Amino acid sequence: MSDTHITRPLFDQVMVPNYAPLEMIPVRGEGSRVWDQEDNEYIDLTGGIAVNALGHAHPELITALTEQAQKLWHVSNIYTNEPALRLAQKLVDNTFAEKVFFANSGAEANEAALKLARRVAFDKFGIQKTEIIAFYQGFHGRTFFTVTAGGQSTYSDGFGPKPADITHLEYNDLSELEKVISDKTCAVILEPLQGEGGVLPITPEFAQGVRALCDKHNALMIFDEVQTGMGRTGELFAYMGLNVTPDIVTSAKALGAGFPIAAMLTKTCFAEHLKVGTHGTTFGGNPLACAVAGKAFDLINTQEMMSGVKHKEQLIRQHLEAINDEFSVFKEIRGAGLLLGAVLNEQYKDQAKTFFLESAQQGLLILVAGANVLRFAPALNISDDLIEQAMLKLKQAVKNIVNKDT
């Protein structure tokens, strides 16, 4: 039974107005379905913005959380704890990494990565090696350091002087990077697939070129896999399908499959520069979060799950192309795995929110990536049947919008 005193207008009364949520309030979820206060049912293709990798209320995650909740909730990093060590071991065993730092959000993981890169450069090469190269339309979080590194000035303007020595270049343009990178560069940070920036995938040539240039100039290569990590692209981490090995990878979102947790992964030779006291967090490595994330890791890191992601990608692409064949609204379908974007054509330019709202009216929850891209990031274990139902709802939403324009 829903609390009748809790309504959408209450948000405007008591919450800081930096969000503009839908009128409906979700109150219950199961798998890839959610229900609102009026018990209206929706198919969820948002995954909490690529977070709920195993859907809502997964029974094994509930069990992991419940069992840990009866043991130990929080101890701080004055101590270590068993769930954190188990999870760190899994990450080390299954990636390039030798060391792990736990935090609570993608922004914190990226903050740690950028601080580590600066510290390594300072210790090894001196005070002049501080430049961080990032890319336009990138997104790395909302702390002042990470939002400045992100290549979208609308998110970072208006807060006073920005952190210095951050250079932005065009994504996937290797020749431009070759001209700019130098021995003063301490790190290059990039997403293997720009999520917020429009679901734009990296080219393998660019990824490999960045790796070579970082090696040449003793700069660290940081892969922000906050949105692409934990199976989202059909690999445990997207770097695994690009024939490159970064120096640092950041993970969050799907790492806890809905429970807040993040991680920075790196090698021992870099990690040793964060000596005791140089960086920290109160809640990072929390036993509850690590217990849930450990179970999520086991469920996601299987060949069956990875091959299923690639199969479902093709299924969604086929439906989007069929919708486009009938209604001619998309210019391009792009992305990888279950992080896909449908780019609106010139006729429907900048109307992504219109499609987003109409989809919700049809009982379908989708995302946008800017004003011109519909974004889909469903649970990795969504069924083929539910994808079919979701695409029928999307088709109806598109039909309604097109018919209004004719």
Report the CATH number at residue 339: 3.90.1150.10
Q: Which of 237, 265, 300 marks a domain boundary?
A: 300
Are 53 and 128 part of one and the same domain?
A: no
Q: Is the pLDDT of residue 4 over 90?
A: no
CA–chain centroid gap for 186, Å, is 24
Are 91 and 200 part of one and the same domain?
A: yes
Q: Sign of torsion, CA 58 62 68 72?
A: positive
Query: Does residue 64 sit within a domain?
Result: no
Classify residue 115 by burial, with Cβ atoms within 10 Å: 0-12, 13-18, 19+.
middle
Q: Is the pLDDT of residue 3 over 70?
A: no
Q: Which of 139, 223, 237, 356 is catalytic?
A: 139
Q: What is the pTM of this model?
A: 0.95
Nearest to 67 by CA among 386, 290, 229, 243: 290
Q: Confirm whether residue 31 is marked as ligand binding.
A: no
Q: Which of 251, 273, 300 marks a domain boundary?
A: 300
Q: Confirm whether residue 165 is marked as ligand binding.
A: no
Q: Report residue 405's pLDDT band, with 50, 70 and 90 as the boundaries.
A: confident
- Residues 222-234 as b or e (16 or more Cβ within 10 Å = b): bbbbbbbbbbbbb
Are 219 and 152 part of one and the same domain?
A: yes
Q: Give the CATH number for residue 256.
A: 3.40.640.10
Q: Confirm whether residue 89 is marked as ligand binding.
A: no
Q: Confirm whether residue 139 is marked as ligand binding.
A: yes
Could you tell me what percent of the chain has a pLDDT over 70? 99
Q: Is the pLDDT of residue 406 over 90?
A: no
Q: What distance in Å separates the CA atoms of residue 381 and residue 399, rounded to the nearest whole number?
A: 28
Residue 334 and residue 343 in contact, taking contact as beta carbons nearer than 8 Å: yes
Q: What rounded mean pLDDT belongs to the chain?
A: 96
Q: Which of 275, 300, 325 marks a domain boundary?
A: 300
Q: Mean pLDDT, to the nearest integer, of 285-294?
A: 98
Q: Which of 253, 295, 312, 393 is catalytic?
A: 253
Catalytic: 39?
Answer: no
Query: Does residue 89 sit within a domain?
Result: yes
Are 92 and 228 part of one and the same domain?
A: yes
The Cβ-side half-sphere exposure at 217, using a 13 Å CA radius, reads 25
Only one residue has tokens 């700019």, namely 180
Q: Confirm whether residue 203 is marked as ligand binding.
A: no
Query: Does residue 67 sit within a domain?
Result: no
Query: Does residue 360 sit within a domain?
Result: yes
Are 225 and 356 part of one and the same domain?
A: no
Are 179 and 321 part of one and the same domain?
A: no
Q: Is the pLDDT of residue 2 over 60?
A: no
Per-residue pLDDT tens over the stretch 91-130: 999 999 999 999 999 999 999 999 999 999 999 999 999 9
Q: Confirm whether residue 37 is marked as ligand binding.
A: no
Are 103 and 222 part of one and the same domain?
A: yes
Are 265 and 156 part of one and the same domain?
A: yes
Q: How many domains are contained in the chain?
A: 2
Q: Confirm whether residue 123 is marked as ligand binding.
A: no
Are 395 and 292 part of one and the same domain?
A: no
Per-residue pLDDT tens over the stretch 148-193: 999 899 899 999 999 999 999 999 999 999 999 999 999 999 999 9
CA–chain centroid gap for 393, Å, is 25
Q: Report residue 5's pLDDT band, with 50, 70 and 90 as the boundaries.
A: confident
Are 120 and 155 part of one and the same domain?
A: yes
Q: Confirm whether residue 205 is marked as ligand binding.
A: no
Are 310 and 187 part of one and the same domain?
A: no
Q: Is the pLDDT of residue 201 over 80?
A: yes
Q: Mean pLDDT, to the nearest integer, of 213-238?
A: 98
Q: Which of 102, 224, 237, 356 is catalytic?
A: 224
Catalytic: 253?
Answer: yes
Domain limits for position 111: 72-300
Q: Confirm whether residue 142 is marked as ligand binding.
A: yes
Q: Is the pLDDT of residue 81 over 90?
A: yes
Q: Report residue 238's pLDDT band, with 50, 70 and 90 as the boundaries.
A: very high
Are 43 and 105 part of one and the same domain?
A: no
Q: How many CB atoms lie within 10 A of CB 179?
A: 10
Query: Does residue 80 sit within a domain?
Result: yes
Query: Does residue 166 sit within a domain?
Result: yes
Quote the pLDDT of residue 323. 98
Q: What distance in Å separates the CA atoms of residue 389 and residue 394, rounded to the nearest whole number?
A: 9
Catalytic: 183?
Answer: no
Query: Does residue 66 sit within a domain?
Result: no
Nearest to 25 by CA among 46, 47, 45, 10: 10
Query: Does residue 65 sit within a domain?
Result: no
Q: Confirm whether residue 106 is marked as ligand binding.
A: yes
Residue 279 DSSP SS3: coil
Residue 379 and residue 52 in contact, taking contact as beta carbons nearer than 8 Å: yes
